[in-house]
Structure 1
Amino acid sequence: MPSPSNDTPDVLDVLVVGAGLSGIGAAWYLQRRCPGKRYAILEARDAIGGTWDLFRYPGVRSDSDMYTLGYAFQPWTAGKAIADGPSIRNYIRDTARNNGIERHIRFRHKVVAAAWSSQDACWTVQAEHDGAAVTIRTRFLTMCSGYYSYEEAYRPAFEGEDRYQGRIVQPQFWPQDLDYRGKQVVVVGSGATAVTLVPAMAEQAAHVTMLQRSPTYVVTRPSEYGFARRFRRWLPEPAAYWATRWRVIAESMLLYRVARSKPELVKQKIVAMAQHQLGKDFDVGTHFTPDYKPWDQRVCVVPDGDLFKAIRQKRASVVTDHIERFTETGILLKSGRELAADVVVLATGLKLKVLGGVAVTVDGKPFRAGEAMSYKGMMLSDLPNCVMTFGYTNASWTLKADLTAAYVCRLLRYMDRKGVAIAVPRRQAGVEPEPFLDFTSGYVQRAKSELPQQGSRRPWQVYQNYLQDMLTIRYGRIADGVMHFSAVKTEQEGALP
């Protein structure tokens, strides 16, 4: 739909940045629970869907089940729990269209700066729209722009690339004209993207090799859940959805807890499952046995064991080694082995970007997320009237996004009742900083200085636990003594009782 290019003369109540999974969910909650609020969504691209519109590489799919990656308010009715990218994209678009959210979206509006004024209790947001500058003012800002850069992926440089005669591509910027049929393909990486690409490309390529520096935990899950089918037979559709959703939530929380409390036992189980899939002669010790504990990095899911199947059928293989350099016809490894490659796919990871890379100022002073502390995993210390949506690393992103969107509505209604205009969490004395994400993954470690911190005690802790967050976010007190409220800027902002 066309996007207006003129400045908005009036002040919005809420401005949502991003029209992906989180942004559309945030809009639904605003419409349902704060129906009197004027809001708009700014989307930098020209389509709804966020990640699921951007990623177009072969086989792109969720690595979380759709009963929890889907919205709490919009049941996922398709049969497959592990869904492909186009199906997820259509699900998000249908949600926006069916709920009248689409008309609130201003496409091709890239937010570049946001300035908060305590005197005015207002954000002034600068965006670029088709080469023109656009200014929008809003009382509350909801950042639903995800956690990684859409413009840039992590792209290590390798010696000899200039000599290589084949083609090098990145999954995030997949070239639609790439023809890999009957060709030798090397996928560099071992994360969720790599384990998705390998079996998908192996359907048409002559052979696909997954080249990894170190192994990743890979587990098989069914693409369709038998218990979900049974629930649909026994129960009305809404009840079946909720029964399935809560079974998956409970099961995933239990498995995560066991993995963290008994990591060696879980490690043995995961490796044994891989051995069973690949046969007793396959070297899982080298290729599927990481040297870290389960959930120190994200565990990769392969629906119906498609990666293992491709390896069993000799359409794909795994090599664990380091790249020495590129040659004219492939990749030379440190072991001395050379991999022939017509196409090299660098599935080497994402580049994290906090607050969408927006230049934020508070009363004229630059605000740096890396120096702030995360409040309930949603707001940042000393950043007024702003919520940052950041999902789980050990469960579906949308579980936390739904809680965050509902909290925004709780907070806005509370502010209306109390007649206040500013809400800002203030860091308490004695709260020790800790890493925002307890993850050893490369993309997290590379962005440690950009990520906010979490604190040593509540409400500054970032729980990777849906039930714990539900109690804290959905039922916890808004005026908890840490969140400070005021009508305008004062010398001493006091917390409301």
Structure 2
Amino acid sequence: MSRSGKSLAGKDGETGGMAEHFDVVIIGAGLSGIGAAWRLQEQLPGKSYAILEARDAIGGTWDLFRYPGVRSDSDMFTLSYPFRPWRDAESIAPGEKIRRYIEETAAEGGILPHIRFGTKVVSADWSSLLSRWTLRLAGGTTMTCDFVYACAGYYSYDTAYQPDFPGLEEFSGQLVHPQFWPEDLSYAGKKVVVIGSGATAVTLVPAMAADAAHVTMLQRSPTYMTVLPPRDIVADAARRVLPAKAANRVARAKNLLITQGFYQLARRRPKRVRQILRAFAVHALKDPAYVDEHFNPAYEPWDQRLCVIPDGDLYQAIRSGKASVVTDHIASFEPAGIRLKSGELLEADVVVSATGLSLIPMGGIQASIDGTPIDIGEHAAYRGIMLSGVPNLAYCIGYVNASWTLRADLVHRYVMRLLKHLDRHGYAVATPDNPEEQGRPLLDLSSGYVQRALDKFPRQGNRDPWLVRQNYLRDVLALPRADVTRDMTFSRHPVPASVEELAS
């Protein structure tokens, strides 16, 4: 692999010049992409790389979402990078602080000069003849690289899930989606209905209730809620006596044990966890009947992701009378609001459609091998990091039952070990084999936004290394020691027949 970004043979589609070449291209400058670049510089400092970011700013999710109250639903001691401690007082942090943390990490790590903003990757084609990827960018230009690492998450930034509500054209108020929040939206003194009961809705309701006349959370079915304090008393105590990194490790370890232990308890003793969560809600709302009507899901805990309520703010908004919950189905929109199937009319000046995301793998890049398109849904997930039969391409997906970064950093370190193996043995290409059988989906949740997109994502196999376990405590022991050669085929650069062939 080349040691510096440079032009190699291959015409650029727009300028007629030579396409720029890198050892590694990282797609996305969000939480994952910046973490990947840090690990790459740390472990393989001789590699040339570029980060291609379609937007004009660092932050990914935390730059995109600007709705009221946007915050983490994981504690920052596990969501932050293990190599750069979280120093803020808040454990459940607002989006602005998370975005600033990512920006500061990029600046501190000298990563900023490597980011190409406003650079959207449209397609990526692997050449078996040349053992490299050609990336076609929006605008028609191209660049090449030896290895692609997709750190763009798993949902579309361009589109969101929006149901086709009957009668919507009759509504005289304003309909907004949290993913595309208008900067000039005014809801002070207005009646607001938030459709949904997931993490976004649970965040929006108390945040908007402070200024709105009233906020109603309209849900088809309840979601499990768990209350966390906005500050971590263990972290606060550790910071008083330990250096920042050591204090972070203490808080991180404590939170890992609690969250992973609670998840395992939920899977093994769902009835007991249901009782615990109900008790929290009854204690906060002082109304068992209200809890049983609006906070009693039909599914078991962790069949879908739990929603975090920092300091019980949703419950506080409900008890204050500034917010309420309605569990019903939408019959149709009317000029004054939403008519429910029960016949009730929910009056609304503003309706927020917190109805979910549109999932899309690898940022929607159209990948191909020698011109033949890759249907990602027909491939198996190798360690949840690569695709069967696809060379020199990795992707980063975090946990669904814990902080995203916990798994993301393990994946970064695995990719670095694989790149080191290629260099050490003089290989150019690493291609996961095809498993004998494929099993359950890669994203194993019953949530609607996941179920709608199952066919777009690879599936797991039935044995290691084709299984993806949602267990950090197990992964942190196994993945750093996992055999990078298992079920993997390696090859060296082919010898080109001529200079003309290389330039074609």
For residue 186 of structure 1, what is the aligned residue in structure 2?
A: 193
Q: Does 1:460 pair with 2:466?
A: yes
Displacement of 1:9: 3.8
- Counterpart code for 2:59: G
For residue 441 of structure 2, what is the aligned residue in structure 1?
A: 435
Give the aligned CA root-mean-square deviation in angstroms: 1.3
1 CA distance for matches of 2:102 and 2:345? 44
Aligned pairs (5 A) from 1:401-440: 401-429=408-436, 431-440=437-446
Displacement of 1:279: 0.5
Q: Does 1:108 pair with 2:118?
A: yes
For residue 38 of structure 2, what is the aligned residue in structure 1?
A: 28
Normalised by the size of structure 1, how large is the TM-score? 0.95
- Matched residue of 1:149: which SS? strand
Normalised by the size of structure 2, how large is the TM-score? 0.94
1 CA distance for matches of 2:222 and 2:239? 38
Displacement of 1:234: 2.3
Q: More deviation in 329-338 or 404-413?
A: 404-413
For residue 494 of structure 1, what is the aligned residue in structure 2?
A: none
2 CA distance for matches of 1:380 and 1:290? 35
- Matched residue of 2:143: which SS? strand
For residue 383 of structure 1, what is the aligned residue in structure 2?
A: 390
**CA contact 1:391–1:399 (8 Å) conserved in 2:** yes
- Matched residue of 1:259: which SS? helix
Provide closer, same or farther for how the CA distance between residues 470 and 118 of structure 1 changes in structure 2, counting only shifts above 3 A: farther
Displacement of 1:361: 0.3
- Counterpart code for 2:193: V
For residue 485 of structure 1, what is the aligned residue in structure 2?
A: 490
1 CA distance for matches of 2:98 and 2:18? 32
Displacement of 1:281: 5.0
- Counterpart code for 2:124: A
Displacement of 1:8: 6.5
- Matched residue of 2:159: which SS? coil
- Counterpart code for 2:489: H
Picking from 34, 48, 53, the partner of 2:58 is 48
For residue 279 of structure 1, what is the aligned residue in structure 2?
A: 286
Q: Does 1:118 pair with 2:118?
A: no
- Counterpart code for 1:453: R
Aligned pairs (5 A) from 1:256-271: 256-271=263-278
Aligned pairs (5 A) from 1:120-199: 120-128=130-138, 132-199=139-206
Deviations 1:134-164 (A, max 9, x none): 2010000000011100010000011111111
2 CA distance for matches of 1:424 and 1:293? 39
Displacement of 1:433: 2.3
- Matched residue of 1:157: which SS? coil
Matched positions, count: 481
Displacement of 1:251: 1.3
Displacement of 1:245: 0.8
Aligned pairs (5 A) from 1:227-242: 227-242=234-249
Q: Does 1:207 pair with 2:214?
A: yes
Deviations 1:299-358 (A, max 9, x none): 000100000000000000000000000011000000000000000000000000011111
Displacement of 1:489: 6.6
Displacement of 1:207: 0.3
For residue 446 of structure 1, what is the aligned residue in structure 2?
A: 452
Aligned pairs (5 A) from 1:233-252: 233-252=240-259
**CA contact 2:338–2:346 (8 Å) conserved in 1:** yes
1 CA distance for matches of 2:408 and 2:212? 38
- Matched residue of 2:359: which SS? coil
For residue 230 of structure 2, what is the aligned residue in structure 1?
A: 223
2 CA distance for matches of 1:391 and 1:86? 21
For residue 96 of structure 1, what is the aligned residue in structure 2?
A: 106
Q: More deviation in 303-312 or 463-472?
A: 463-472
1 CA distance for matches of 2:18 and 2:294? 56
For residue 495 of structure 1, what is the aligned residue in structure 2?
A: none
2 CA distance for matches of 1:267 and 1:49? 35
**CA contact 1:420–1:486 (8 Å) conserved in 2:** yes
Picking from 341, 359, 364, the partner of 2:371 is 364
1 CA distance for matches of 2:346 and 2:321? 16
2 CA distance for matches of 1:47 and 1:67? 24
Displacement of 1:38: 0.1
For residue 471 of structure 1, what is the aligned residue in structure 2?
A: 477
Q: Does 1:255 pair with 2:262?
A: yes
2 CA distance for matches of 1:8 and 1:396? 41
- Matched residue of 1:283: which SS? helix
**CA contact 2:399–2:470 (8 Å) conserved in 1:** yes
Q: More deviation in 200-209 or 153-162?
A: 153-162
Deviations 1:68-126 (A, max 9, x none): 11001110000101000000000000000111101100010111000001221100001
**CA contact 2:429–2:490 (8 Å) conserved in 1:** yes
Q: Does 1:39 pair with 2:39?
A: no
Picking from 329, 354, 357, the partner of 2:361 is 354
**CA contact 1:164–1:327 (8 Å) conserved in 2:** yes
**CA contact 1:16–1:40 (8 Å) conserved in 2:** yes
**CA contact 1:185–1:205 (8 Å) conserved in 2:** yes
- Matched residue of 2:188: which SS? coil
2 CA distance for matches of 1:286 and 1:437? 29
- Counterpart code for 2:492: A
Provide closer, same or farther for how the CA distance between residues 264 and 281 of structure 1 changes in structure 2, counting only shifts above 3 A: closer
2 CA distance for matches of 1:92 and 1:52? 9
**CA contact 2:173–2:351 (8 Å) conserved in 1:** yes
For residue 25 of structure 2, what is the aligned residue in structure 1?
A: 15
**CA contact 1:8–1:137 (8 Å) conserved in 2:** no
- Matched residue of 2:274: which SS? helix
- Counterpart code for 2:459: Q
Deviations 1:377-433 (A, max 9, x none): 11110111011100000000011111111111111111000000000111232x342
Identity %: 54
Displacement of 1:183: 0.3
Structure 1 residues not aligned, in runs of 5+ = 491-497
2 CA distance for matches of 1:330 and 1:422? 58
Displacement of 1:467: 2.2
1 CA distance for matches of 2:363 and 2:390? 15
Q: More deviation in 433-442 or 134-143?
A: 433-442
Q: More deviation in 177-186 or 156-165?
A: 156-165
Aligned pairs (5 A) from 1:291-306: 291-306=298-313
For residue 87 of structure 1, what is the aligned residue in structure 2?
A: 97
Displacement of 1:362: 1.1
Displacement of 1:364: 2.1
1 CA distance for matches of 2:356 and 2:283? 29
